Chain A
Amino acid sequence: MSLAEAFIAVLQPLPFWVLSLGVLLGIIVGALPGMTGGMLMALALPFTYYMTDANAITLLIGMYVGGISGGLITATLMRIPGEPSSVMTTLDGYPLARAGQPGRALGLGISASVVGGGLSWIALVLLSPPLAKLGLQFGPFENFALALLALVMISSLSRGSFVRGLIAGLLGMLVGVPGVDESSGTMRFTFGIDALAGGFNLLPVILGIFALSQVFADLMAPDKPAMRVAADRRGILISLRDYVDHGWNMLRSGLIGIFMGIMPGVGASIGSIAAYTTARNLSKTPEKFGKGSEEGIVASETANNATSGGTLIPVITLGLPGGFTDAVLLAALMIHNLQPGPHFFANNTRIVHTIMASHLLAHVVMFAIMVVASLWIVRLMEIPKQYIATMVLVLCVIGAFALNGRLFDVWVMLAFGAVGLALEYVRAPLAPFAIGLILGPMAEGQFRSAMMMSEGSLAPLVTRPISLTLLIATLALFAWPFWRERHLRRAKITG
Chain B
Amino acid sequence: MKRRNFLTTSLAAATIGGLVGANVARAQAFPAKPIKVVLPVAAGGASDAIARLFQKVISKSSPQPLVIQNMPGGGFSIGGREVTGSPPDGHSVFMIHEGLISADAQGVFTPGVNSLVAIAGTGRDVYSIVVSGSSPFKTLKDLFDAAKSGAPIRAAVNIGGLNHLSSLIAAEPAKATIRPVQFSSGADSLRALLGNQIEVIFTVASDVFDYHKSGQMRVIAIMGDSRSPFLPDVPTTAEAGFPSRSELNHYWWMHKDTPPDRIAWFRDALGAAMKDDEIKRAFAARLIEPVFTSGAALQADIAKKKLVLGELVERFGLKQK
Q: Does B192 sit at the interface, judged by CB under 8 A? A: yes
- Which segment, of B77-85, B116-124, B219-227, B229-237, faces chain A? B77-85
Q: Is the CB of B285 within 8 A of A339?
A: yes
Q: Does A287 sit at the interface, judged by CB under 8 A? A: no
Known: A197-B74, A327-B187, A452-B181. A405 touches B82 (CB 8 A): yes
Q: Does B87 sit at the interface, judged by CB under 8 A? A: no
Inter-chain contacts of B70 with A (CB < 8 A): 42
How far, in angstroms, from A341 to B183 measured CA to CA in the complex?
A: 19
How far, in angstroms, from A453 to B214 measured CA to CA in the complex?
A: 27
Q: Is the CB of B49 within 8 A of A334?
A: yes
Known: A327-B187, A343-B214. A136 touches B195 (CB 8 A): yes
Inter-chain contacts of A185 with B (CB < 8 A): 75, 106, 108, 158-161, 164, 318, 320
User: Which residues of chain B from 268 to 313 have a CB within 8 Å of any chain A CB?
Assistant: 281-282, 285-286
Q: Does A84 sit at the interface, judged by CB under 8 A? A: no
Q: Does A191 sit at the interface, judged by CB under 8 A? A: no
Q: Does A219 sit at the interface, judged by CB under 8 A? A: no
Known: A139-B192, A449-B182. A402 touches B15 (CB 8 A): yes
Inter-chain contacts of B63 with A (CB < 8 A): none
Q: Does B216 sit at the interface, judged by CB under 8 A? A: yes
One digit per residue, 1 when the CB lies within 8 angstroms of any chain B CB and 0 when it does not, for chain A 439-462 equals: 000000100110011010000000
Chain B contact patch, size range: 35 or more
Q: Does B32 sit at the interface, judged by CB under 8 A? A: no
User: Which residues of chain A from 445 to 495 have a CB within 8 Å of any chain B CB?
Assistant: 445, 448-449, 452-453, 455
Inter-chain contacts of A46 with B (CB < 8 A): 10, 52, 55-56, 59, 68
Which of B43, B69, B82, B184 has a CB less than 8 Å from the CB of A324?
A: B43
Known: A179-B73, A339-B210. A324 touches B191 (CB 8 A): no
Q: Does A342 sit at the interface, judged by CB under 8 A? A: yes
Which of A182, A184, A343, A407 has a CB less than 8 Å from the CB of B184?
A: A182
* Majority DSSP secondary structure for residues of A touching B: helix
Q: Is the CB of A139 within 8 A of B195?
A: yes
Q: Does B145 sit at the interface, judged by CB under 8 A? A: no
Q: Is the CB of B75 within 8 A of A180?
A: yes
How far, in angstroms, from A314 to B192 measured CA to CA in the complex?
A: 13
Q: Does B42 sit at the interface, judged by CB under 8 A? A: yes
Inter-chain contacts of B262 with A (CB < 8 A): none
Q: Does A194 sit at the interface, judged by CB under 8 A? A: yes
Known: A197-B74, A401-B18. A50 touches B160 (CB 8 A): no
For B196, the closest partner residue in chain A by CB is A136
Known: A136-B191, A405-B17. A327 touches B182 (CB 8 A): no
One digit per residue, 1 when the CB lies within 8 angstroms of any chain A CB and 0 when it does not, for chain B 124-150 equals: 000000000000000000000000000
Q: Does A230 sit at the interface, judged by CB under 8 A? A: no
Which of B52, B181, B183, B281 has a CB less than 8 Å from the CB of A337?
A: B281
Q: How far is the CB of B215 from chain A (nearest CB, A)?
A: 9
One digit per residue, 1 when the CB lies within 8 angstroms of any chain A CB and 0 when it does not, for chain B 1-21 equals: 001000100110011011000
Q: Does B45 sit at the interface, judged by CB under 8 A? A: yes
Which of B55, B106, B110, B321 has a CB less than 8 Å from the CB of A194?
A: B110
- Which segment, of A61-69, A315-323, A418-426, faces chain B? A315-323
Q: Does B154 sit at the interface, judged by CB under 8 A? A: yes
Q: Does B98 sit at the interface, judged by CB under 8 A? A: no
Q: Is the CB of A452 within 8 A of B74?
A: no
Q: Is the CB of B18 within 8 A of A180?
A: no
Inter-chain contacts of A139 with B (CB < 8 A): 192, 195, 197
How far, in angstroms, from A179 to B69 measured CA to CA in the complex?
A: 21
How far, in angstroms, from A42 to B53 measured CA to CA in the complex?
A: 14
Q: Is the CB of A319 within 8 A of B210?
A: yes
Q: Does B72 sit at the interface, judged by CB under 8 A? A: yes
User: Which residues of chain A from 169 to 210 have a CB within 8 Å of any chain B CB?
Assistant: 179-180, 182-187, 194-195, 197-199
Q: How far is the CB of B134 from chain A (nearest CB, A)?
A: 12
For B208, the closest partner residue in chain A by CB is A341
Known: A185-B160, A452-B181. A136 touches B194 (CB 8 A): yes
Which of B73, B184, B286 has a CB less than 8 Å from the CB of A197?
A: B73
Inter-chain contacts of A179 with B (CB < 8 A): 73-74
User: Which residues of chain B from 167 to 205 have a CB within 8 Å of any chain A CB?
Assistant: 179-184, 187-188, 190-192, 194-195, 197-198
Inter-chain contacts of A405 with B (CB < 8 A): 17-18, 69, 71, 82
Q: Is the CB of B81 within 8 A of A194?
A: yes
Q: Does A376 sit at the interface, judged by CB under 8 A? A: no
Inter-chain contacts of B184 with A (CB < 8 A): 182, 445
How far, in angstroms, from A327 to B154 measured CA to CA in the complex?
A: 26
Inter-chain contacts of A326 with B (CB < 8 A): 44
Q: Is the CB of B191 within 8 A of A318?
A: yes
How far, in angstroms, from A406 to B78 measured CA to CA in the complex?
A: 9
How far, in angstroms, from A405 to B18 measured CA to CA in the complex?
A: 5
Q: Does B152 sit at the interface, judged by CB under 8 A? A: yes
Q: Does B48 sit at the interface, judged by CB under 8 A? A: yes
How far, in angstroms, from A445 to B43 measured CA to CA in the complex?
A: 22
How far, in angstroms, from A327 to B56 measured CA to CA in the complex?
A: 18
Inter-chain contacts of B110 with A (CB < 8 A): 187, 194, 197
Q: Is the CB of A182 within 8 A of B159?
A: yes
Inter-chain contacts of B42 with A (CB < 8 A): 324, 327
Which of B53, B164, B187, B211 has a CB less than 8 Å from the CB of A264?
A: B187
User: Which residues of chain B from 244 to 281 have a CB within 8 Å of any chain A CB?
Assistant: 281
For A452, the closest partner residue in chain B by CB is B181
How far, in angstroms, from A402 to B154 measured CA to CA in the complex?
A: 40
Task: Kindly name the residue among A135, A187, A265 whose own CB sees the greatest number of chain B CB atoms within 10 A.
Answer: A187
How far, in angstroms, from A136 to B188 measured CA to CA in the complex?
A: 10
Q: Does A387 sit at the interface, judged by CB under 8 A? A: no
Q: How far is the CB of A55 from chain B (nearest CB, A)?
A: 15
Known: A334-B49, A405-B71. A137 touches B56 (CB 8 A): no
How far, in angstroms, from A300 to B211 measured CA to CA in the complex?
A: 37
Inter-chain contacts of A406 with B (CB < 8 A): 18, 71, 78, 82
How far, in angstroms, from A136 to B73 measured CA to CA in the complex?
A: 26
Q: Is the CB of A180 within 8 A of B159?
A: no
Q: A45-B52, A179-B73 are known contacts; what are 15 more A-B pairs with Cβ within 8 Å?
A: A42-B43, A42-B44, A46-B10, A136-B195, A179-B74, A185-B106, A186-B108, A186-B160, A331-B44, A335-B56, A342-B210, A449-B181, A449-B182, A453-B179, A455-B152
| Complex A-B: 7 CB contacts under 8 Å | A46-B55, A139-B192, A182-B184, A186-B320, A197-B81, A328-B44, A335-B53
Which 8 A-B pairs give the minimum distances between C-beta atoms?
Answer: A327-B44, A185-B160, A198-B73, A197-B74, A341-B210, A136-B195, A405-B18, A139-B197
Give residues in A with beta carbon < 8 Å to B.
41-43, 45-47, 49-50, 135-140, 179-180, 182-187, 194-195, 197-199, 264-265, 314, 318-321, 324, 326-331, 334-335, 337, 339, 341-343, 401-402, 404-407, 445, 448-449, 452-453, 455
